[in-house]
């Protein structure tokens, strides 16, 4: 008699019945309601919803910036629901890359210096820091801008620097919070196509957005409203020239 064991791939992220409430005095405000979600390694997922839908709160939990009130959060198979503040900080530094709407660059530092910065905190030696920074800046198309100050760049170029900075530590996942929010239409579409490119190279990306047109660049769209996941759909990965603000 033969026995066959079927092995299922472990999800990168597995949220099980996540609830989140904020308490101020005697007032409790529920934000997320029994949210369950799986994200696999190599996916490009857009979490889309209007203002106040709970999408930013969900990203804060996914990015180890906040904790759920109840429910289970498995990351790479590990239950991280009860981690301490120091343990959450370690996960943020070593597992996650962030890209924000406002870029969050040092204005008077060069492009290279901005990208090198996260590796300084991790005690990476200077030679490797520069080599890795140059590699990811070439990947995002900014190898010709290494010595420019970040405040000398266009909005689209600044966001490319931010993406390079997020990539430099080889994180397990990249979170992009409204990454096109401060960009014009053309620059926004270029950034979304860059996310598609780095996703095809194997990087897992979760993008938060309120814009359907931006979400369509992802492979999967998770729609959230009033703290509940209401729908999942497939994005159009090969969209060309159809992004509008």
75 belongs to a structural domain: no
pTM of the model: 0.90
In 10 A of CB 199, how many CB atoms?
Answer: 21
Closest CA to 137 of 123, 150, 121, 152: 150
pLDDT of residue 240: 45
In a domain, 14, yes or no: no
Q: What is the pLDDT of residue 236?
A: 66
Task: Tell me, yes or no, whether 169 lies in a domain.
Answer: yes
Dihedral angle sign, alpha carbons of residues 196, 198, 200, 205? negative
C-beta neighbour count of 128 within 10 angstroms: 10
| 12 found inside a domain | no
Q: What residues contact 237, with CB distance under 8 A and at least 6 apart?
A: 44, 196, 217, 218, 219
Both tokens assigned to 130: 């520069």
Cα 228 from Cα 207, distance rounded (Å): 17
Degrees (nearest 5) of the Cα angle 88, 97, 36? 65
Backbone φ and ψ for 58, nearest 5 degrees, come out as -60, -45
Task: Give a yes or no: residue 31 inside a domain.
Answer: no
CA torsion sign for 104, 107, 108, 109 is positive
CATH number of the domain at 138, please. 3.40.50.300
Burial of 241 (0-12, 13-18, 19+ CB in 10 A): exposed
Radius of gyration from C-alpha coordinates of the chain: 19
> Would 35 be classed as within a structural domain?
no
Output the six-digit token pair for 106: 């040092």
pLDDT at position 169 is 86
Number of domains in the chain: 1
111 inside domain: yes
Given a cut of 70, the residues of the chain with pLDDT beneath it are 1-9, 236-245
pLDDT digits (tens, 9 = 90+) for 77-133: 999 998 999 999 999 999 999 999 999 999 999 999 999 998 887 878 889 999 999
Q: Which domain holds residue 228?
A: 43-67+88-233
- State the pLDDT at residue 237: 56
Residue 19 token pair = 């609830």
In a domain, 78, yes or no: no
């Amino acid at each position: 008699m033969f026995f066959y064991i079927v092995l299922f791939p472990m999800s990168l992220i597995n949220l099980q019945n996540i609830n989140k409430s904020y308490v101020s005095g005697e007032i409790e405000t529920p934000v997320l309601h029994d949210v369950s979600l799986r994200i696999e390694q190599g996916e490009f997922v857009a979490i889309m919803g209007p203002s106040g839908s709970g999408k930013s709160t969900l990203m804060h939990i996914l990015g180890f910036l906040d904790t759920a009130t109840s429910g289970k959060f498995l990351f790479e198979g590990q239950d991280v629901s009860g981690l301490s503040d120091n343990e959450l900080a370690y996960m943020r530094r070593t597992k996650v890359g962030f890209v924000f709407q406002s870029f969050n660059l040092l204005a008077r530092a060069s492009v290279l210096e901005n990208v090198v910065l996260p590796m300084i905190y991790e005690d990476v030696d200077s030679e490797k820091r520069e080599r890795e920074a140059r590699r990811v800046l070439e990947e995002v198309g900014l190898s010709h801008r290494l010595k420019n100050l970040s405040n000398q760049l266009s909005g689209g170029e600044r966001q490319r620097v931010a993406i390079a900075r997020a990539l430099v530590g080889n994180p397990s996942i990249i979170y992009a919070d409204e990454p096109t929010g401060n960009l014009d239409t053309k620059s926004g579409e270029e950034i979304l196509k860059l996310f598609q490119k780095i996703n095809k190279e194997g990087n897992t990306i979760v993008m938060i957005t309120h814009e359907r047109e931006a979400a369509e660049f992802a492979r999967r769209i998770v729609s959230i409203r009033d703290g509940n996941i209401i729908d999942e759909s497939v994005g159009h990965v090969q969209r060309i020239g159809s992004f509008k603000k």
